Amino acid sequence: MKKLVVVAALCLMGMAAHAQQNLSWGQGPQVASPDIHADNSVTFNLIAPDAKKVQITGDMLPTKKVEFAGNTYDTPGIVDLVKNDKGVWSFTTEPLKPELYTYNMIVDGVKIIDPLNVYNIRDINNLFSVLLIGGDQRTDLYKVNKVAHGTVSKVWYESPTAGLTRRLTVYTPAGYETSGKDYPVFYLLHGIGGDENAWSELGRATQIMDNLIAQGKAEPMILVMTNGNISQEACPGETSEGFKVPTMMLPKTMEGSFETAFPDVVKFIEKTYRVKKDKAHRAIAGLSMGGFHSLFISINNPDMFGYVGLFSAAVDQQQPNGGFPNIYADRNAKIDKLFSKNPKLFWIGIGKTDFLIKNNNDLRAYLDSKKHKYTYMETDGGHIWRNWRIYLSEFTPLLFK
């Protein structure tokens, strides 16, 4: 028996040693990446002794302008890492402003995620490493703080109009399960190529909602994050199509099908959840394509939403050969009808260097010509998640007051 105990102990020690070995970074130098310093500068490291060239690209770097399809876009810059005598490549930034940053390494021309950073986010068909630098009131909204938390659910619903069973991400505020109360609803839409996960993952929407509600800055509400690609059941990899490669080039994009099917979403939510079922307690907003959808859903259903938000909206980008041209016909007359019914809020936000700013300025010029009241926010930067998180944080406290 004694011999058995000794053997068992040795086996356990061996297993522990093996586990520790698996948890280590191997026999080479042990470094961290990203390494955030006290002054908010960040060092990125990569162990690649055989690499010829290592670079980093991300939105913590100065942007550069790129021309594509007649538009000018801000894209992240690229800088070289420097290798030391141990085969570790490194780069240290200037002190960074508080923000959620995404980045990639580029090793001998191949873009990869940071192998030393376990935190990654998918955006369409790209995978990014991510880091969060807090320290100001805005970015603290993006953190999981010690406040009461809502519930986030992936919910399937039938869309007779689309002919599909489709999925939503639904946030219910803390206390929903036990309060017995009815709540207002905010429908939040993503951009082209995104899906029902985009706002909760890239947009930090659920953290923003938790924190704004806990601070008393926003009314407790249900947040419904749709999949705006009406040809999809749900996000890539989580449908009956299996592990299909994500793409922006999807059927039925911005040609009227999604707007036509949207009432199916509202009917499902109002049948399934305890909600207030009137215009004064419904809001809709979206980024880019989602802002385009929000505009046309609201003006084609002028009695449905009391609050409308356009975040870098892709206005005037509809497909010319769409299946539902009447959705986009007579836009200005429909806008006039919406405003004749006195929406409580019509909100527009866009970046100064966004490639869609002219389209948004043209829309604003029309609103001004008709003396339609709206709220406008212009921020630095272009067509980026950094701005869309700001717009969500600014728009939400204005709802249902």
Considering only CA atoms, give the Rg of the chain. 24
Residue 351 is inside which H or E element, if any? strand 345-351
* Tokens of residue 61, six digits: 């770097």
Tell me the CATH number of domain 146-398, given options 3.40.50.1820, 3.40.50.10680, 3.40.50.150, 3.40.630.10.
3.40.50.1820
- Residue 245 is classified by DSSP as P
Q: Are 43 and 33 in contact (CB under 8 A)?
A: yes
Mean per-residue pLDDT, 183-207: 96
Q: What is the pLDDT of residues 280-336, one digit of tens each?
A: 999 999 999 999 999 999 999 999 999 999 999 999 998 766 667 789 999 999 999
Write down the domain spans for the chain: 28-136, 146-398
Q: What is the pLDDT of residues 42-82, one digit of tens each?
A: 999 999 999 999 999 999 998 877 766 566 667 888 999 99
Reduced to 3 states (helix: H, G, I; strand: E, B; else coil), residue 126 is strand
* Tokens of residue 400, six digits: 């249902």
Q: What is the pLDDT of residues 226-242, one digit of tens each?
A: 999 999 998 888 888 88
Q: What is the pLDDT of residues 7-38, one digit of tens each?
A: 444 444 444 444 333 333 445 568 999 999 99
pLDDT of 202 > 60? The answer is yes
H helical segments located in 245-324: 257-272, 289-300
Q: Which residue has the higher pLDDT, 160 or 244?
A: 160
pLDDT of 201 > 60? The answer is yes
How confident is the model at residue 328, as a pLDDT? 94
* Tokens of residue 1, six digits: 């028996």
How confident is the model at residue 91, as a pLDDT? 98
Confidence tier at 123 by pLDDT (50, 70, 90): confident
* Mean per-residue pLDDT over the chain, rounded: 91
Tell me the CATH number of domain 28-136, given options 1.10.3720.10, 1.10.8.50, 2.60.40.10, 3.40.1010.20.
2.60.40.10
Supply the pTM of this predicted model: 0.90
How confident is the model at residue 231, as a pLDDT? 92
